[in-house]
Amino acid sequence: MAFAKLEDDSPNTSSRKTNYLKIVPGVPTVIRILDDHPVKVFKHWVRDGAGRMVGVRCLGPSDCPICQRNAQLGFNRDHPDYIPSRKRYRVNVVDLTPVKRCPKCGAAYAATAAPSLCSVDGCGGNLSNVQPEPLDEVKILERGPQLMGQFNALEMAPHPMTGEHMPIQAYPIMLVATGKGKDMVITVVPQMIKDITHEYEPFDLDGGLVLTAEEVTYLLEGGNFSDILEERRASFEASGSDTEGHTEDSAPRERIPF
């Protein structure tokens, strides 16, 4: 059975704080896939009042203000106000990218792009003699059908180092990216087989911040995404809760300044 079922239905929400994998052109990323299959979500990409592109989870045709506006436009894709929905697939991975950790503040830098001194404000820790080690953190990889199709193809081919057909969860995979934005191309490269020495706690793939219909409308009217996050943060603090439930756009990331 193929790894990605490219026509599955989309999920719901969760309150767990998420941490998304960041893929940087020119900096190879090494992952280990944890899940049997990815979860599919639909997203609209909206430019807010500050000019920032925000990935908005679709609330469904009957509740999503963007889908409703698209319907009013007769689903005319040539209209400047039409905003399509995009299929995105989420899967838990272990980020095994070799990094150098600052001995003073703990900031992590990709080993292939690490400076000699830590660039975090006020730190300046010496990284020259720090030995690279795998980051070894669970993150959510969220990408489109093209990368999922590559995973499917990888699973159908024999592993180049064993000649055997193996599940793609059985070995690390290097992701090599070129280009940026819509022009980014990611190539998958199977790596040497390594045993998993301990268990990892996966994220809830149905989680992440889902904007309300009112918040989506606010963005469509020129509001700033940062204002929505600030209002939610203030609400959480007032209620004594933690600010959980972030999207890919707002998720706090491991400090990897590459």
**Total domains present in the chain:** 1
Q: Is residue 156 part of a domain?
A: no
The per-residue pLDDT for 123 is 94
Higher per-residue confidence, 5 vs 71 = 71
Task: Tell me the pTM.
Answer: 0.80
> Distance (Å, rounded) from C-alpha 254 to C-alpha 135?
9
Amino acid identity for residue 26 in this structure: G
pLDDT score of 43 more than 90: yes
Q: Is residue 166 part of a domain?
A: no
Q: Is residue 105 part of a domain?
A: yes
pLDDT score of 244 more than 70: no
Q: Is residue 107 part of a domain?
A: yes
The per-residue pLDDT for 122 is 87
Written in H, E and C, the secondary structure of 10-74 is CCCCECCCCCECCCECCECEEEEECCCCCEEEEEEEEECCCCCEEEEECCCCCCCHHHHHHHHCC
Q: Which of 257, 255, 256, 252 has the alpha carbon at shortest distance from 20?
A: 252
Q: Tell me, what DSSP letter sits at residue 132?
A: P
- The pLDDT mean for the chain works out to 87
Sheet containing 133-134, strands listed edge to edge, beginning at the edge strand earlier in sequence = 108-110, 98-101, 133-134
Q: Is residue 104 part of a domain?
A: yes
> Distance (Å, rounded) from C-alpha 145 to C-alpha 141?
12
Q: Is residue 121 part of a domain?
A: yes
Q: Is residue 52 part of a domain?
A: no
Query: What contacts 24+ positions apart, CB below 8 Å, involve 149-156?
Result: 149/4, 149/6, 150/186, 150/187, 150/188, 151/3, 151/4, 151/33, 151/188, 152/2, 152/3, 152/4, 154/188, 154/190, 155/2, 155/3, 156/2
Rounded average pLDDT over 72-82: 96
In this prediction, residue 6 has a pLDDT band, given cuts at 50, 70 and 90, of low
Q: Is residue 124 part of a domain?
A: yes
The per-residue pLDDT for 37 is 94
Domain range for 124 is: 98-134
> Distance (Å, rounded) from C-alpha 238 to C-alpha 219?
24
Higher per-residue confidence, 13 vs 242 = 242
Q: Cα-flanking dihedrals φ and ψ of residue 125, to 5°?
A: -60, 145
